[in-house]
Structure 1
Amino acid sequence: MEGSDAIIITAAVFLSISLAAVSLRCYVRLGIVKAFGHDDALMVAATIFNIGFATCGIVGAVYGMGKTPVYLAHHQEDLRRGLLIPRGKCWWLGQVLYVFTCTIARLSIATTLLRLTIHRTHSYILYGVVTFSTAVGIVFLFFTIFQCHPVTYYWNHYPETGHCLGINILLGIVYMYSGMAATCDIILGSLPILIIWRLQMDRRTKCAVSGILGIAGIASAAVIVRIPFLHHAKDPDFLYATTQISIWSNVEANLGITAGSLVTVRPFLRVFATHNSCVQ
């Protein structure tokens, strides 16, 4: 399978899953419990950014991202368009949307947990995650947007004159962000077990809710898996070498949104079970 096909399939499949989860969340919060909160609004915002992020990945893959050097050598038009679009505006915009998506989704999950926690220590930890994640996201976003001066020099080297930060500096920033993001995701994936276990729920419900929230921890695995591929960003065959970076970034963003949304569907399952009992 071509790298471009893998990018398109991954982005489309995981986006569909996250959209279904968010749609179900909105139905539950608006139609059943009628209590649409700040965490719901944040997750909807993250989803909107995620749609743009996935679109950038799919468009980029169509125009050359993920294509092998051999393919591009025999398709010069795709190479020209590929370097112009995915490594240019689409690639740049995708990075920006990725930061917004993951940071806002992380804030939504933390806000949801803040509504559930009853211990001050857990609240302090979550406020720390919110502050830390927001600060790191802003720093990474700043360097992503302004890595070149002028900004348009990133995708329009000619005839403009300008300069960009060295690739090693940018990679250092990306490594820092990935480490911080993984740490926050691990906390958000493990803390729910401590929080849920102290609530007044039956054991089966506690296991189900903890498991769903724990999916957020899998997002940290996606960040960690992506780290060894980050150095490929300075590869001469940029379009093909960054395939895994694009794939795992999509997995990370969508898993976070999916996990944060599924935890709110318990009322729907209760209504569904009640309806089935009445039918029988």
Structure 2
Amino acid sequence: MASSMPLVGRSLAIFTVSIVMMVLSFITVSLRVFVRMYIVRAFGWDDTLMVAALALFIVLGTCCMIGSKDGIGHTETDFKNLELYKRALLWWWLGQMLYLWASVVAKVSIALALLRLTVKKLHRMILYAVIGLAIIIALMFWLVLLLDCHPISYFWDQADPSAGSGTCLSVKILLDIAYLYSSLTIICDFTLGILPIILVWNLQMNQRTKVAVGSILSLGAIASVAVVIRLPFLHYYADSDFLYSTYQIAIWSIIETGLGIIAGSLITLRPLFRWLLDGSISYGRNARKQGRKTVSYPLYSFKSNRVKESDDPSYWRPDIDAGSGKLVINTVSSPRSNNFADDNGSQEALNPELRPVASYGQPPGVTVKKTFVQVVEER
């Protein structure tokens, strides 16, 4: 087997970016799985798709790392072995195929997560249109790459003069399709970034919370930045020194997919921060252990002194003397539903119209506390 090429210059850049994005993606998706399976206890389809996107991305990153060691990022004159050059072309081809599906699966996962916040039919239609468009353009470009050369192996065998005959599509056609794919991808990404702001705008929350929630949900569109940056480099597909000239395309394709996975997972980590601050047990864990038993649930989440003081009835009814002996606290508890989160969701429902309904048709249980004065007649 031919020896590897040295990791220097552009090949080293591809290798480094692949490792960094793979590690960051793995960490964020692992945290997402922890939140969805342990804290929220509602692992949905969008979470499954994001795990699948991570798996595809890890294979993509591995191909890029091996390909960079085999010569991606080097000039043709650097290759002293024809077999090594063909192998580098093969890794580049495999990487592009994997990039398409890792990217589109991450987009579909983000769109499914946003569907939980939608009430209006128009918004749901837009999200379904984004899902459909993302799948169609990925399938289209995937077929172009798959059928670019006939036979398929001619893509990397054409470097060998002794190889059999074959044909490939015109580079101009490939470039036109690449520009079309990138343009439609930008539209999908920006839609996933703008729509959350529209969804959050009409929710009943203060302005600061709206900005925070909208910004977090819009992180899913951050991958569009990498697509925009990659656009000026697409013409290098037509360069004769292919492996050396297209290194920017490889790098920004890796960054685009990695950012999509990372940002799409970050939007689900809100319960994790609350769990760390509160030190409370997971939402679903108590419900599953208690079954249908009566359980009390506080209506607040942060243990500040002000909130602790609110447990004192005089905080709410200053006209009542807690030391008079006439104060009675009546606590009404209702069962906690096991269906706290939507099966297909990735974060807590922010829209009150979409709150889940517990089993037996009952709404999720809450604890209600009220105080009143009991009149005791003297004898």
User: Normalising by structure 2, what TM-score?
Assistant: 0.68
Structure 2 counterpart of 1:237, one-letter code: D
Residue 21 in 1 paired to residue 45 in 2? Answer: no
Partner of 1:120: 121
Structure 2 counterpart of 1:84, one-letter code: K
CA distance 1:31–1:202, shift in 2 (3 Å): farther
Q: 1:167 aligns with which of 171, 176, 190?
A: 171
**Offset of 1:135 from its aligned partner?**
1.1
In 2: Cα distance, 1:59 partner to 1:174 partner: 24
- Structure of greater Rg: 2
Contact 2:175 2:234 in 1 (8 A): yes
Structure 1, unpaired ranges of 5+: none
Partner of 1:209: 213
**Offset of 1:155 from its aligned partner?**
2.0
Residue 244 in 1 paired to residue 248 in 2? Answer: yes
Report the count of equivalent residues.
Answer: 273
Q: 1:49 aligns with which of 49, 52, 56?
A: 56
Partner of 1:178: 182
**Offset of 1:31 from its aligned partner?**
1.0
Structure 1 counterpart of 2:117, one-letter code: L
CA distance 1:91–1:266, shift in 2 (3 Å): same
The equivalences for 1:1-280 within 5 A come to 2-67=9-74, 69=75, 73=77, 76-77=80-81, 80-87=82-89, 89-157=90-158, 158-201=162-205, 203-275=207-279
* CA deviation map 1:210-240 (0-9, x unaligned): 2233233221121111111011112122111
**Offset of 1:74 from its aligned partner?**
5.2
**Offset of 1:34 from its aligned partner?**
1.1
Contact 1:60 1:82 in 2 (8 A): no
CA distance 1:42–1:229, shift in 2 (3 Å): same
* CA deviation map 1:36-89 (0-9, x unaligned): 11111111111111111111111111111112x3xx635524xx35521221x2
User: Normalising by structure 1, what TM-score?
Assistant: 0.91
**Offset of 1:115 from its aligned partner?**
1.1
Structure 1 counterpart of 2:129, one-letter code: G
Contact 1:39 1:108 in 2 (8 A): yes
In 1: Cα distance, 2:25 partner to 2:208 partner: 25
Paired-residue identity, %: 43
Contact 2:219 2:267 in 1 (8 A): no
Contact 1:216 1:260 in 2 (8 A): yes
Contact 1:229 1:245 in 2 (8 A): yes
Structure 2 counterpart of 1:86, one-letter code: A
Contact 1:28 1:268 in 2 (8 A): yes
The range that moved more, 214-223 or 225-234, is 214-223
The alignment's C-alpha RMSD in Å is: 2.0
**Offset of 1:205 from its aligned partner?**
4.5
Structure 2 counterpart of 1:174, one-letter code: A
In 1: Cα distance, 2:69 partner to 2:78 partner: 16
In 1: Cα distance, 2:114 partner to 2:56 partner: 22
